[in-house]
Structure 1
Amino acid sequence: MKAGPNILITGTPGVGKSTLSQQIAERSGLEWVSVSDLARDNLFYDGFDEERQCPILDEDKVLDELEDMIAEGGKIVDYHGCDFFPERFFDIVFVLTTNNTILYDRLAARGYQGTKLTENIECEIMNVIRDEAMDSYNNDIVHVLPSNSPEDMESNIERIILWIEAWKRDNGSSS
């Protein structure tokens, strides 16, 4: 039996995935796995994108590393992409979305500029991550949540915690 549900929290950079994931992990006892941190700590890269000034993720190495973790259950996986994760990995998928003006300010404050800033804003405008999730997973498990304000964050935390508690009841898990 899995230790708990496996949850994917995804969305464009800057929508609040890491903050939400950390808060849910603290309140639920599930383990937060930041794919970006996992890749950085283990050098799971396949080159460097000069135009965007960022490393290129080696998806195969990430998936190999996650395989046993996911089998254990009880993981909250946080990443800005989702189409390379197998559908069997997750019990539920949450896609965070943010108003473009708010997102622009968040990304600019992080130092994003040029192509990297423009492409991320366009990604959010065109619902790229939402569409990836809908195309990659059973639509019954994909939920789109607004992430514009502290109130949205708290509402999302409460909603996800309630879902985790229901999953544990339904699956006979007491952890």
Structure 2
Amino acid sequence: MASLTAKTRSLPNILITGTPGTGKTTTSADIAEALNLKHLNVGDIVKSEKCYESRDEEFDSYILDDDKLIDEMEPMVEDGGCVVDFHSCEMFPERWFDLVLVLRANTEVLFDRLTERNYSEKKREENMTAEIMQVVAEEARESYAEEIVHEVQSNTVEDMEGNVERVKQWVAAWKQNNP
């Protein structure tokens, strides 16, 4: 199969990543709607296509089968025009994405969001630590070309709306450079 490149796609693929609770799904859905792109919520794909090996009951999460997930998603992203939403990014091939947006949130905001989701104390603490230690941001920087990775704040509705506007501008520029 030919590798995915911007030259073979008429629309870009965008990855929205960040610690759970940073607003990935809301931001991804808003970007997809604003630009008429497909929103791919990886968590939903993992569940619906059973792309997991087992379940971690302690953290109320799935242990991913990365290979199955990649095989499932490859045909979804190959033509471009997707906004992919997931809290982890290192398993996705670099060739899939033209823009990687890492959402960041202040610890007070994140704590409240995770508490509202009824995360256990242990799961909330793990995610708070991951955000403080910039785990997802570092993972993105190590996995993708520096020029496509951008960290943005996602604390307020205004932040999220601003992020959608930035991505709209970026997509317009991408289209001009990739006719």
**TM bin (shorter chain):** over 0.9
1:109 is matched with 116
Identity %: 48
With 10-19 and 35-44 compared, the bigger mean Cα shift is at 35-44
Give the 5 Å matches for 1:134-153. 134-153=141-160
Identify unmatched segments of 5+ residues in structure 2. Answer: 1-7
1:125 lines up with 2:126 in the alignment: no
1:97 lines up with 2:107 in the alignment: no
Q: Secondary structure at the match of 1:155?
A: helix
Whole-angstrom CA distance in 1 between matches of 2:94 and 2:115: 33
Whole-angstrom CA distance in 1 between matches of 2:126 and 2:148: 27
Whole-angstrom CA distance in 2 between matches of 1:86 and 1:122: 26
- RMSD of the TM alignment (CA)? 0.9
Q: 2:11, 2:81 within 8 Å by CA — same for their partners in 1?
A: yes
TM-score by length of 2: 0.93
Q: CA deviation at 1:50?
A: 2.3
Identify unmatched segments of 5+ residues in structure 1. Answer: none
Which deviations, in whole Å up to 9, do the C-alpha atoms of 1:71-128 show, x marking residues without a partner?
1111110000001111111011000000001000000000101221110000000000
1:77 lines up with 2:84 in the alignment: yes
Q: Secondary structure at the match of 1:154?
A: helix
Q: CA deviation at 1:3?
A: 3.3
One of 12, 32, 36 as aligned partner of 1:29: 36
1:12 is matched with 19
1:68 is matched with 75
Q: CA deviation at 1:11?
A: 0.1
Q: Secondary structure at the match of 1:157?
A: helix
Whole-angstrom CA distance in 2 between matches of 1:94 and 1:166: 16
Whole-angstrom CA distance in 1 between matches of 2:62 and 2:137: 23
Equivalent residues, number: 172
Q: Secondary structure at the match of 1:15?
A: coil
TM-score by length of 1: 0.95
